[in-house]
A and B are shown apart, each in its own frame.
Chain A
Amino acid sequence: MDEIHLIRDVLDNQLVDGDRRPMGKVDGMVLVLRKDKPPRLAYLETGMTTLAHRLSARLGRLAERLGRKWGVRHGKPFRIPWAKVRHVGIDVEVDLKADDTPVMDWEKWLKKKIVGRIPGSG
């Protein structure tokens, strides 16, 4: 049986969607505690807030505040249920469409508001 080491093979790896389009990195992993049962790996997280929390609690709170004020995602990391993970190799492939998720919000915002308005952007 093949084994996965969460820290080595999953955390900080590239996330790709079903069409192998990049959708950020695995910035965090969330386990949920259940009554009378062992904890369960529930979500992968991606987003600046998660990264900031990894560095320090204070930075994390700051990132949340900034995100609520100006972020297109309102400072919330995007959570991917572990059940959506299809493959763990060079990348972590999940059964989603990048374009349908909030991970592309900044990309779409920039495309619409700035890049798309500059001539020659394709």
Chain B
Amino acid sequence: MKKALEITLGILTSIGGFLDVGAIATAVQAGASFKFQLLWVVLLGTICVIFLVEMSGRLAAVSRHTLVDALRERFGFNFYLIPFLAELVVDGLALAAEIGGVCLALQLVTGISFRWWALPVAFVLWLLLWKGTFSIIEKGTSLFGLITLSFVVAVFVLHPPWNDVAAGLVPSLPAHDAAQYWFIAVAILGALISPYLFYFYSSGAIEDKWNKNDLGVNRGVAAVGMSFGSFISLSLLIVSALVLFPRGIQVDRYEQAAMILTEPFGYWGFILFAASLGIACFGAALEAGLDQAYVVAQTLGWNWGENQHPKEDARFSMTYTVFIFVAALLIFAGIDPLKLTIFTMALTAVILPLVIFPFLILMNDENYLGKHRNGIISNSVVLIITVLAFVMAIVAIPLQIFGG
């Protein structure tokens, strides 16, 4: 009974935690520019993230190490420094992008420029981390995150041509704008396979004191939760394809993206979109900010934990404080959140091998996982998708930049 509750909670968390500024921006752009043709990429990214999240939970449950602890220990500080710095940069940019997403949602509703929202949003974020506990953050994020289910409802209101949708789940080559097609594909993968997700997940598993008995729950949460989350991403792409593609609107501002729910729901659709964007990004910003502090504290062996008062882990608390306000300053300085998001997601795809190859080696190490180490399926799936994302990234990003 307790297990069932845990799985349900875990799944709720994943639904709420899955969508973030990157997933929203890339899905809307994909649908607007290529109709259903990029659906398969969302599917591919989801498969990879299911395996990665399951792996990081399993590592924590079996070896009692967070991913960071294990990586530094296994590879030594000098090598570990590379994935560490890569993760800090990408996670920091992602944090800024998520804050930007919240600010844009507020701009949509109030008309006041996103820049003026950056510091107030950062303050509320910080306050929640300062005063809240891990479970409040986890449950709050998931509960409010359920509003993003409105994208799923919208799909059914709009009656898509299901045959065309199904066809989009099969990989195909673009008929036009090949460079942009692959660039968006890369950004989708970078958005779904965000390293902060599995660093965060393994830290949560340690905070919740998981052990080998939790392996079943871990597998269930990873598979079902991430699939549900991806279901919302797929829905978002479909709605965007149905509303924006026929009008030839290529999304370069969020005002255009906000239209996607006005067709099925009228005026309230606009509000729903803004609320979904704001809440999803706020939840993701909480996770990304906390993740920065986890990664730094675990790398240097400080006392850490979101369940303690800031006074009991002063260095940990100061770390997220500094990162949140620096990220907010980027948005306050006027960096376009949509451009920042797409750039960050593409960059994530480039650095993915740096983070994931060492992770895979670790997952095959008997010293850490004993008989629970990776099998051939987990290894091949993660390896193939990561290499694919990397190759696509180094080909598509220069094409996109130099091709205009």
Which A residues are closer than 8 A to B by beta carbons? 7-8, 11-15, 21-25, 27, 46, 51, 54-55, 90, 106-108, 110-111, 114-116, 118, 120-122
Contact = CB atoms under 8 A, between A and B. Distances in A.
Nearest to A112: B314
Contacts of A14: 69, 301
A122 B311 CA distance: 6
A116 B347 CA distance: 38
**7 shortest interchain CB distances as A-B pairs:** A122-B309, A25-B301, A110-B314, A111-B314, A121-B310, A24-B301, A122-B311
B367 interface: yes
B300 interface: yes
B78 interface: yes
A109 B301 CA distance: 17
A120 B77 contact: no
B303 A22 contact: yes
Contact of A24 (B64, B130, B300, B367): B300
Interface in B54-106: 63-65, 69, 72-73, 76-78, 80-81
Contacts of A106: 315
A51 B304 CA distance: 20
B124 interface: no
B64 A90 contact: yes
A118 B320 CA distance: 14
With most chain B CB atoms within 10 A of its CB, the pick from A54, A108, A115, A121 is A115
B317 A121 contact: yes
B2 to A, nearest CB: 26
A21 B69 CA distance: 15
B302 A107 contact: yes
Given A14-B301, A122-B312, A110 B77 contact: no
A20 to B, nearest CB: 11
A100 to B, nearest CB: 15
Contact of A107 (B127, B130, B303, B367): B303
A12 B315 contact: no
Interface in B141-180: none
B302 A118 contact: no
Interface in B314-362: 314-315, 317-318
Nearest to A111: B314
A110 B81 CA distance: 25
A25 B73 CA distance: 9
A12 B73 contact: yes
23 contacts: A7-B76, A12-B72, A12-B73, A14-B69, A14-B301, A15-B301, A22-B301, A22-B302, A25-B77, A27-B77, A54-B77, A55-B77, A55-B81, A107-B302, A107-B314, A108-B314, A115-B311, A118-B310, A120-B130, A120-B131, A120-B310, A121-B130, A121-B311
Nearest to B308: A122
A12 B310 CA distance: 26
Contacts of A54: 77-78
A12 B65 CA distance: 13
Contacts of B127: 120
B78 A55 contact: yes
B209 to A, nearest CB: 13
Nearest to A119: B130
Contacts of A51: 77
